[in-house]
Every structure is written in structure tokens, then in C-alpha cells.
Structure 1
Amino acid sequence: MDFPERFLWGAAGSAHQTEGNNVSSDLWALENSPGSPFSERSGDACDSYHRWPEDLDLVRDLGLNAYRFSVEWARVEPVEGHFSLAALGHYRRIVEGCLARGLTPVVTLHHFTSPLWFQQDGGWLGSGAADRFRAYTRAVVPILDGVEWVCTLNEPNLLAMLSSRISGGSGGGVAGELPAPEQAATDALTAAHRAAREELAGKKSGWTIANQNFQGPAELRDAWAWPREDQFLAAAVDDDFIGVQAYTRVIVGEDGALPVAGDARRTLTGWEFYPPAVGEAVRHTAACAPGVPILVTENGIATADDAERIEYTTGALAGLHEAMTEGADVRGYLHWSLLDNYEWGSYRPTFGLVSVDRDGFRRTAKPSARWLGEVARANRLD
């Protein structure tokens, strides 16, 4: 199964999940509050704020050619209207580090976490949210020289389903099981996305969607999918690309999302083991937004068995290739995640191609990392 020339093969991470000590963010405040709903706090995370050169060396040495990371808004603008030149310089050095290693940087401007001041003033439902995100984006633009791909918001449909609350918990349900989002939150996020895209003129920009592969009777499925996913795809029909992020599926019945079957194979998050997810998500996205290029910005599995990771990813890539042969315009595949990192409340779900020692932060590439690197070097799946 050959992939197109210049296909992006990479791995992904986010600032809060890998950097450590994101002390000005809303999630840090929640993690460290009395009675926090999280079983673990992010703490030092993977210390990638300091060890990013080592992480980029790993990506390059494995044979991958792209790396997705996020700029942390809470570091760049810890106080409203006051932008940190030191933080912007830090992220510029990561961009330059990618380029120096021959890696294509894929930069995300918002990956779930926001400055605490923003959240305390209403978050995405607060006054002037789109203008605040525009100002932050404008501050970041100068450090994006050489960056071709920019994701404005990570999984805005999940953010909207949480209605500006912060996601929590370690594992369990998937986004597609959540109540339908508040339309006001959807509208606010869409406005912020479009404001950011105006500031990013000249670069490929888009947002990434939490694709749930809704299945079931067509009428029930479509009614359930529209507020949770499809309206976000419809809002992206004029974007430069759409990021597809798929892990599993959700089956819809008369009363909404059904629980995973009792005899189903599951991952460490409790999700159904379902390798066809990404191929099906790509087909659905291509149908909803015809002509818009697709970048798989996340796909992976939480497992302690690395052979299972290879099994899952082999099936995922086979399904992706099949969707591409049917006409889907897919430009790359970015595995979630490069590192075993903080998964929004717990370090237990291990998605990484690379393990991280929790005491000394030592990185160790897993066999799955070397396997994916071989696929990337050959640009084909055997």
C-alpha cells in the first residue's frame, strides 16, 4: 500500500500534556484545587518544555518527517493584554528546531487549555472571546515563519459539548456520548476560529474535529451527529484543511449513544478497540466537506501492550489507505502520541510511541515507534 509523495508521517503532542508546570492555565488551577476531580495532576508532565530538542531528535531519528505540537496560550498571555516575549521565543525555537531537522511543524494554537483569566471571565461564552483569541493569534503569527500547517482549535466540538467547562476524568466515555453542545458555545468557537484564520492568511489553517464514527439507523445517527460533529465539519468547508482525529466508534440507538458491548475488546480508556475508525472518519469528513484536504492529526490507542499498538495502527493505516484510494485527499498521518503523556487527569492511559520514565523523564522508543518509522521511510504499508 503505497502513499503519495510528500505524505506527512509524524507524531503529535500538546503543550499541557507534555511540557509541565503550566501554572497560568485553567486546567492547572483545577488540577491543584481542593477536591479536584482528577486522580493525578500534570505536574512536571514529560518536562518537554526543557527537553523538546530530545523529542525532536526522536521524531527525526525514527524516520518520521512531521511533528505536531501546540503553543500554550496561558504561557504566551498569562495576563490579558501582556504577551510574554520569552514564551514566544521558546516556541519559535521549537519551530526552528523542526525545520533544522527536516521536520514539518504542524502547530496548534489551542489544545484544550486556556489562560485562567480567560476562563474566569466566562471562557468561550464570555464577552469578546473571539476578539481575545484573535489578539493571541496575532501575537503568535510572527513566530510562525516557515510553518505551513496551523490548527486553530483542537476538537472544538468537544469543547462545545463541555459548554466551556474543562474536560476531566481518566478514561471512560468518548466525546460522542456527551450531551449535545450549547449552540452559543458552538457559535463562539466558530467565530474564534474564523477570526484566527483571518490573522493566519497565507498559511494553511483549519481546525481539528473529534470524529466519533457514529453508526446506527441513519435517521437516529444523523440527528445525533449533527450537533456533535457534522455542524463543525460544515463550518470548515472553506478552510484550507480539516484535521481528523479518530480512535473508536459510537453506536446510536433510540435513546442515544449505546454503551460499548460487554464482549467488545477495549483499550485502557475503556473505548472499543476499533482500527477502522480513522478510515471511516476520513470518508465521512470527505463527504461532509468535499474538496477540503484532510490531515489526520490524531489516531492511536491507549494500551500497555505495544504489539497491540502495532496491530491497531496497521489496521488503521490500511483503512486510511483504502479511503484514499476511493478519492479522499489525505495529506498526512500524525500518530497520537509521540510520548506517554498526561491524559487529562491520569498518566495511566499510555498512547505513546515512546515511554517516559516518571522519575527521570528518560525517553525510550518502543518497537511500535521503530515500526512506524520504517513505514514512514518506505512510504508504504506492507
Structure 2
Amino acid sequence: MVDFLWGVAGSAHQTEGNNVASDMWALENRPGSPMAERSGDACDSYHRWAADLDLVRSLGFDSYRFSVEWARVEPVEGRVSLAALAHYRRIVEGCLERGLTPVVTLHHFSSPQWFQQDGGWLASSAVERFRRYVRAVAPILDGVTWVCTINEPNMLAMVATMLKADRPAGGVAGAMPPPDQDVADALAAAHRAARAELTGFMTGWTIANQGFEAHEGAVAERDAWAWPREDQFLEVAKGDDFVGVQAYTRVLVGRDGALPVPEEARRTLTGWEFHPAALGNAVRYTAERVPGVPILVTENGIATADDAERIEYTSAALDGLRAAMDDGADVRGYLHWSLLDNYEWGSYLPTFGLVSVDRRTFARAAKPSAHWLGAERARILGP
């Protein structure tokens, strides 16, 4: 499978540092913020992106997923930063020069603060504003094939519900309150508008797949729970060039909704259940919901301080992926979350990275799992 992508992922706000014009920066730094930690300098990848790409290539990967930061490109409404566009163009070129396939995400949770202050995704002009941003970015994507319009729109819409109630956004996405439907509808419209601007690319959006499982026969309840939180977003992906699967764990659904993680369950640093079968199950589920749409695994990984546990989890997850592919799922690539131990939306404690980052010097150090996963492609896909 020569064209199968084998890579790693990250996002701008979580790795670059000092994204001062964004709504996430404002949320982190406001008095009484629900965020325990601020992103601050993050991994300083805004300046160290070339070294990160060198790491990706040296570890044996052939693909790198990163995001363009809207708040840098358009820090003030209607004022596009040519310097920011040139910066992201250099990253695209850096990937191509190293033989890496760039997978570019245009919106990974964070938006410009001016956008949020003027109503965010609920403003009447939200879709056109996003379309204008996509139109500004499109010229720097020469040589790019894969473009993700919006990362985890279902998560964004669920967080909107929580923020409206002034509740901290955390936990497993599938156990959250249902999404703000107006936000969900706006995101779907924004995705379609972006696709219209991105002719000539493989475009899609990425879904937080939660592995909903019926507990003690609660099949109808599971289906009712899944529709607003996942299935309606998969429905939007019908007819796209691909859909991104992002899977980490499962959520058990009983008669009254999502159940807490069982007391006896093995857990990760995020408190999620250790459940590597989530990946294969999510791929199968997605293939059934959107038949004919190619799948790209855009995120899969584990928050752990034990690197041997990372290898254990990922090895089992890849076995499940291979089995789903053998059963007919059209999967075009696997991108591990994440390359770096980066900012995880309020905390640096959940370490997902294949590469550690010194929080003071920003020095990178590849973990054994990084070398292992770089070489694992041959076992999963063959020579």
C-alpha cells in the first residue's frame, strides 16, 4: 500500500505558542478561567517547526498533519497577514522538501477573538467569514492534497453548550451534553462553504468518534444518544472526499444515557478508559454510516506517562485497524496523536506525544514509542 499515509499530528494552538489573538488565548487568560494552565509558549513550534519536520522524517514517518491558525492569518477582521500566510507556506514547502505529505487542517478548535466577540459561529456572518478565511489560505496550499476543513465539529458544538452554561469543557466528548444545534448547523454550512473554495483538493472534516456501546441491551438509547453527538456530523460527510476518524476510547450508554467509566476499568491520564479496540470499532462504524467515503485516521493515541503502555495501546489499536481494513474498510492513512507532548486544552499533564518536550528549553527527545511506531508500518501494511 504505497499511497497509505503513515504519520503524526499536531495543531497550531497546542504547539506553536503565544497565539495571542485567539479566543482560546483569551479564555485561558481571563480571570477565573476554567483552564488550569495556559498555553503560553506551548512547544515553541512556531519557531521550531523545521526541527519538528526533521524529527518526523528521521523517525520513519511520511506524513504530517498540522493546522493553520486563523487568528494569526486574520488577527483583525478583514486584515489578512501576508507574513502569517508566508509562514504556513514555508511549513508546506518544508514538508514537501522532506518527502512528507502535508495534511492541513484549517480550523482546529481556536478562532480569532474578534470572531468570538461578534457572536462566533452563531453570528449571521459566521459562514461567510470562514469562507473568506479559507479563500485567503487556499493559494498557499499548492502541493497539498489532503485538507481538513474543521476539526471535530461535534466537539466544538458540545463545548458551546457547556460554555453557555458556564461549565468547564472536559471529559470524554461522548459523555458531554448534546451539542448546541445552531452551532452544529453553522459548522456544517461552514464546512460546505469551505469545500466550495477548495476545488482540486481532497477535502473533508474530522469527527470525534466516541465508540458508543449499548449497555445491557440499551440499543435504542445508544442510537438516540449517538445521533446528535456524532451521527449527524457523519451525515454531513456523505459526498466528501474523505472523513477523518479520531478515536481514543469508548462510551457505554445505558437506559438513562452515558455511563461513567467503570470503577474497575484501566484508565489513561485523561481519565478515559484504556480501550485500544476503539480505533477499529470507530473505523467500522464510520464505514457503515458513510459508505463509499474514504477514511483517514487523523487522530489516535493515548495519554500516558508510561511509554511501554503507549506501545501496548497503539499496537492493539493498529491490529484493530488492520482487521477493519481486511473486512473492507477503505482506509487511506493513519496519523498518530501526537508528535509532541503538547498543550491539551487546559493542561500539559496528559502526555500523548511520541516526543517529549522540555518545558523550559523546548528540547525535543524521541521516546522509544516514536522509533517503534515509525517502523510499524511494514507490520501493519506489508512491504
Q: Give the TM-score taking structure 1 as reference length.
A: 0.97
Aligned to 1:204: 202
Aligned to 1:146: 143
Secondary structure of the structure 2 residue equivalent to 1:251: strand
Alpha-carbon offset, residue 34 of structure 1 = 1.2
Secondary structure of the structure 1 residue equivalent to 2:86: helix
Aligned to 2:175: 177
Distance 1:108 1:161 in 2: 20
Residue deviations 1:72-103, cap 9 Å, x none?
Answer: 00000000111000000000000000000000
Secondary structure of the structure 2 residue equivalent to 1:163: helix
Q: Work out whether residues 169 and 344 of structure 1, in 8 Å CA contact, stay in contact via their aligned partners in 2.
A: no
Q: Work out whether residues 245 and 296 of structure 1, in 8 Å CA contact, stay in contact via their aligned partners in 2.
A: yes
Give the unaligned 5+ runs of structure 2. none
Alpha-carbon offset, residue 7 of structure 1 = 1.0
Secondary structure of the structure 2 residue equivalent to 1:43: coil
Q: Work out whether residues 123 and 129 of structure 1, in 8 Å CA contact, stay in contact via their aligned partners in 2.
A: yes
Alpha-carbon offset, residue 284 of structure 1 = 0.5
Matches within 5 A, 1:88-167: 88-163=85-160
**2:198 alignment partner AA:** L
**1:337 alignment partner AA:** S
Distance 1:120 1:327 in 2: 46
Aligned to 1:318: 319
1:69 aligned residue (66, 70, 94): 66
Give the unaligned 5+ runs of structure 1. none
Percent of aligned pairs with the same amino acid = 73
Distance 2:373 2:124 in 1: 45
Matched, 1:241 2:242: yes
Aligned to 2:350: 349
Aligned to 1:13: 10
1:22 aligned residue (16, 19, 33): 19
Q: Which moved more, 1:319-328 or 1:155-164?
A: 155-164
Distance 1:204 1:45, change over 3 A: same
Secondary structure of the structure 1 residue equivalent to 2:160: coil
Alpha-carbon offset, residue 207 of structure 1 = 0.2
Distance 1:193 1:141, change over 3 A: same
Secondary structure of the structure 1 residue equivalent to 2:340: coil
**1:242 alignment partner AA:** V
Distance 1:171 1:163 in 2: 9
Alpha-carbon offset, residue 181 of structure 1 = 1.2
Aligned to 1:331: 332
Aligned to 1:254: 255
Q: Which moved more, 1:302-311 or 1:213-222?
A: 213-222
Residue deviations 1:292-317, cap 9 Å, x none?
Answer: 00000000000000000000000000
Alpha-carbon offset, residue 375 of structure 1 = 1.1
Aligned to 1:369: 370
Paired residue total: 379
Secondary structure of the structure 2 residue equivalent to 1:290: coil
Distance 2:133 2:372 in 1: 38
Q: Work out whether residues 70 and 112 of structure 2, in 8 Å CA contact, stay in contact via their aligned partners in 1.
A: yes
Q: Work out whether residues 13 and 336 of structure 1, in 8 Å CA contact, stay in contact via their aligned partners in 2.
A: yes
Alpha-carbon offset, residue 379 of structure 1 = 5.7
Distance 1:8 1:81 in 2: 36
Alpha-carbon offset, residue 361 of structure 1 = 0.2
Q: Work out whether residues 161 and 178 of structure 2, in 8 Å CA contact, stay in contact via their aligned partners in 1.
A: no
**2:179 alignment partner AA:** P
Distance 1:58 1:170 in 2: 35
Aligned to 2:186: 188
Q: Work out whether residues 213 and 249 of structure 1, in 8 Å CA contact, stay in contact via their aligned partners in 2.
A: yes
RMSD: 1.7
Alpha-carbon offset, residue 6 of structure 1 = 1.8
Q: Give the TM-score taking structure 2 as reference length.
A: 0.96
**1:193 alignment partner AA:** H
Distance 1:381 1:340, change over 3 A: farther
Distance 2:382 2:273 in 1: 24
**1:37 alignment partner AA:** P
